[in-house]
Copies of this chain bind each other. A is one copy, B any other.
């Protein structure tokens, strides 16, 4: 390897590190915006975010970066080595980034900073018109971005690529079209057993006690609080604000402690992925998550494959009773039934596991229609409500419980939702494989020992960074790409023990 080659690689690593300093600082600006920022600070915060986004974009799209990458590509690197991974991923992100002018990136950042405030207001007042002007501008910018990135087939492919590299609209459509009727069939197959809906002893479940319990659970799953924390936001999320700085958020209802708990378990799954990336590679592709569909597999694996099991509640029941004495009047089985209860409802993040993917598929269809030209922004509420009626059989009472419920569009994230259901499928497939690979896994889960499972995920997923594409990673870890089989089996098993 020539010195010049090594120099180019080193310089690129440094540049990537600088961009990570800027990007992670911007994550902090956004985290703060959603947690603690005073309301009047929003317009200037939008300027701060836009400035850093533009700066990072300019640094990464500078002509010399293209030159350094080309120089690196001339080298004979070990094809399986870290350097080869980084160079390949740098090329991908450089090509994608250089197709957008800095002005457009800054415009999106500014619109979404303001759009977030508009969305908060609109959602509070259940009034789509308050968010519509922002949303129109955000969609328009995304349409322009898709055109600039270029695509074959659907313009939506160009947006998907940003969240799930290598994914294709048509393939996802096919997978979802196969999945949806199976879920509907499962929903309809449940024999009415005459029993009342499961319920918890009435609240209040004090927020402080919820925080205490959630923290215990997150810690037990393996989340490192020396390198992370939990705060409160309107919409739960996980963000990485720097090396060893992974932050989770949730929201609290004093009537029902399981909302915030499963919010935190879900985000802990994301957090464990982020904390499991190799810190020595932080700031390069080898130290970054590969896609949202893989990210979501981690959150849903802990949430649904692990923490909705009956044995999870058998293990945690005593601790839960210490935090919430009224639970003594319930039982592990009652709580497990409650948190697995299947019931068509309006809010995705509060939906049960079985109906959840119908929510996602609805959004996916609307987004594809929006970007393939079959839907305009002003028609979203109507289209949403009609499809919701058709897919979930419910009449949406207002936009707060309809198309305004999710934060994503206000953040300019189109192409994102599909990864939730890819995550469900991947989670089931990874868990089924870990169950085959890890000796005594069932036994350790029963005893509240999560380390063997986490270790398997560390080795087969987290530590791989961006070595593989999502589908390569699934093949390497489970022997096949994303399929619906393991997931449908999981749902069937669950429905059968629930109704036993």
Q: Binary interface profile of A, 229-254, with partner B (CB < 8 Å = 1, else 0)? A: 10100000000011111110000000
Chain A, range 3-57, C-beta contacts under 8 Å to B: 18, 21-22, 24-25, 28-29, 32, 36-41, 43-45, 47-48, 51-52
Question: Which residue of chain B has the shortest Cβ distance to A52 in the bound complex?
Answer: B25
* B45 adjacent to A242 (CB under 8 Å): yes
**A38-B226, A41-B227 given; 10 more Cβ-contact pairs under 8 Å:** A24-B48, A28-B29, A28-B32, A36-B231, A38-B245, A41-B241, A41-B244, A43-B244, A44-B282, A48-B242
* A29 adjacent to B38 (CB under 8 Å): no
Which residues of the other chain, B, contact A24 by a CB distance below 8 angstroms?
A: 44, 48
* B51 adjacent to A244 (CB under 8 Å): no
* B243 adjacent to A44 (CB under 8 Å): yes
Chain A, range 200-252, C-beta contacts under 8 Å to B: 224-229, 231, 241-247
Can you show 26 pairs from A to B with CB atoms below 8 A apart?
A18-B51, A21-B48, A21-B51, A21-B52, A22-B51, A24-B48, A25-B52, A32-B32, A32-B241, A36-B36, A36-B231, A38-B227, A38-B228, A38-B229, A38-B244, A38-B246, A39-B226, A40-B227, A41-B227, A41-B242, A41-B243, A41-B244, A43-B244, A44-B243, A44-B244, A48-B242
Give complex CA distance A225, B40 in Å: 9
Which residues of the other chain, B, contact A32 by a CB distance below 8 angstroms?
A: 28, 32, 241
Expressed in whole angstroms, the minimum distance between the Cβ of A411 and any Cβ of chain B is 19
Q: Which of A29, A48, A243, A247 has the most CB of B within 10 A?
A: A48
Which residues of the other chain, B, contact A52 by a CB distance below 8 angstroms?
A: 21, 25
Question: Which residue of chain B has the shortest Cβ distance to A282 in the bound complex?
Answer: B44
Q: Give the contacting residue for A25; candidates B40, B41, B48, B242; CB below 8 A.
A: B48
Which residues of the other chain, B, contact A45 by a CB distance below 8 angstroms?
A: 242, 245
Question: Which residue of chain B has the shortest Cβ distance to A246 in the bound complex?
Answer: B38
**Copies of this chain:** 2
Question: Which residue of chain B has the shortest Cβ distance to A47 in the bound complex?
Answer: B21
Chain A, range 366-387, C-beta contacts under 8 Å to B: none
* A29 adjacent to B25 (CB under 8 Å): yes
Known contacts A21-B47, A51-B18: A37-B231 contact under CB 8 Å: no
Give complex CA distance A413, B51 in Å: 28
Which residues of the other chain, B, contact A40 by a CB distance below 8 angstroms?
A: 224, 226-227, 244-245
Expressed in whole angstroms, the minimum distance between the Cβ of A245 and any Cβ of chain B is 4
Which residues of the other chain, B, contact A243 by a CB distance below 8 angstroms?
A: 41, 43-44
Expressed in whole angstroms, the minimum distance between the Cβ of A365 and any Cβ of chain B is 39
Give complex CA distance A28, B21 in Å: 14
Which residues of the other chain, B, contact A36 by a CB distance below 8 angstroms?
A: 36, 229, 231
Which residues of the other chain, B, contact A226 by a CB distance below 8 angstroms?
A: 38-40
Q: Which 5 A-B pairs have the closest CB atoms?
A: A41-B245, A40-B244, A44-B243, A40-B227, A44-B242
Which residues of the other chain, B, contact A282 by a CB distance below 8 angstroms?
A: 44
Give complex CA distance A224, B39 in Å: 11
Question: Which residue of chain B has the shortest Cβ distance to A17 in the bound complex?
Answer: B47
Expressed in whole angstroms, the minimum distance between the Cβ of A400 and any Cβ of chain B is 23
Which residues of the other chain, B, contact A247 by a CB distance below 8 angstroms?
A: 38
Give complex CA distance A447, B418 in Å: 61
Question: Which residue of chain B has the shortest Cβ distance to A241 in the bound complex?
Answer: B41
Give complex CA distance A47, B45 in Å: 22
Q: Which of A18, A28, A52, A242 has the most CB of B within 10 A?
A: A242
* B44 adjacent to A245 (CB under 8 Å): yes
Expressed in whole angstroms, the minimum distance between the Cβ of A56 and any Cβ of chain B is 11
Which residues of the other chain, B, contact A43 by a CB distance below 8 angstroms?
A: 243-244
Which residues of the other chain, B, contact A227 by a CB distance below 8 angstroms?
A: 38, 40-41
Which residues of the other chain, B, contact A47 by a CB distance below 8 angstroms?
A: 21
Give complex CA distance A36, B249 in Å: 13
Which residues of the other chain, B, contact A22 by a CB distance below 8 angstroms?
A: 51
Give complex CA distance A29, B31 in Å: 12
Give complex CA distance A226, B40 in Å: 6
Which residues of the other chain, B, contact A242 by a CB distance below 8 angstroms?
A: 41, 44-45, 48
Which residues of the other chain, B, contact A228 by a CB distance below 8 angstroms?
A: 38
